[in-house]
A and B are shown apart, each in its own frame.
Chain A
């Protein structure tokens, strides 16, 4: 429900980016080029208060992510605060630093599930993309999560350097005991946008990959989520389930955003949880109302029958490609800017990628 009706439904999910620091250097990382510095991170007491406020506001799920959330020594306290607020917590992690002791500390605090990311099917290839040896840590992380009896999801970001290994990647997920694998075709934000030419896969790779997914679905009960590669499909994704509609993101420095890549929108001026209550931010802040509902839309979205289903696609993608966040997402074939995406996908991917690093 949009602001025009005067009633804002409560949010379901919170993405808590507790730090942007990370031991890995994934070139596909969707974190912003300007990573939040550790010295400006909000403290434990603030996160505890924010979890209470989130529970009162109606948040049911918290995805505790980053950066690498395990770099926060107070992570268990943050998880415990979410648990007290009745919020179901999922740790979103690279696995680096997740041994049995650390996991025990987190499950004692009430952690419910883990989503582990892996870069590729073999140690050499995975470590190459991560820019650091980490595959063995991930393997151990999967093992301790399995031993603790927590649900394990695997997230694999897909691009031209690993799509040909998809079959082995899914087999790895099965071997590691994952209940679901999110096959996350790269979304082009942050470092991924910077590395777009090096990461775009091309149609042939995607067609083969879809065939691989189809075959696994026939013979295995593992849940496979195929995140649509929107650059190639001609359709806009219902980004975040709608702006200010289902989800709230809190940045490491306390800025509150409708999505984790909206850092890149220059005119948004996101409110900070140090200055305002989450309830005010969710219901009344200009940032959350900027693209809420459908009233902000222009043609072709304004009169399109899809507008309540896909919300006109992604505002950050519209901005990244056209310089105007209120235009139709160029991924949509009805967008007057769709040729921009078509040209990008026609070019063969060449270029080397650059690794994510602080202070770029």
Chain B
């Protein structure tokens, strides 16, 4: 994964919290993806301003007990493959 990459959600996609279902959602033209809390937390940081390293650091600061680097990298590559982040 390129350390200079600043992931951002694709233009047509909205990330929102659904207060009725208490879930984070990715909403696109004909589809809704219900996110688990970890995925929601990572994607919320993908605003185009942070590098992947900064994202990992922020998550590590919030959750000092878990090692996040590998998981986050893998997750971001996967959602990029889906076209949800670029």
Chain A positions near chain B (C-beta within 8 angstroms): 10, 12, 56-58, 60-61, 86, 88, 90, 112-113, 115, 149-151, 153, 179-180
Contacts and interface: CB of A to CB of B under 8 A. Distances in A.
25 contacts: A10-B20, A10-B21, A56-B20, A57-B20, A58-B21, A60-B18, A60-B27, A60-B32, A61-B27, A61-B32, A86-B16, A88-B14, A88-B27, A88-B28, A90-B29, A90-B30, A112-B29, A113-B29, A149-B11, A150-B12, A151-B28, A153-B29, A153-B30, A179-B12, A179-B29
B43 interface: no
Contacts of A179: 12, 29
Contacts of A12: 32
A58 B20 contact: yes
A153 B25 CA distance: 21
A60 B12 contact: no
Interface of B: 11-12, 14, 16, 18, 20-21, 25, 27-30, 32
Nearest to A149: B11
A61 B26 CA distance: 11
A287 to B, nearest CB: 22
Contacts of B11: 149, 151
B45 to A, nearest CB: 21
A65 to B, nearest CB: 14
A180 B14 CA distance: 18
A56 B20 CA distance: 7
A102 to B, nearest CB: 19
A89 to B, nearest CB: 10
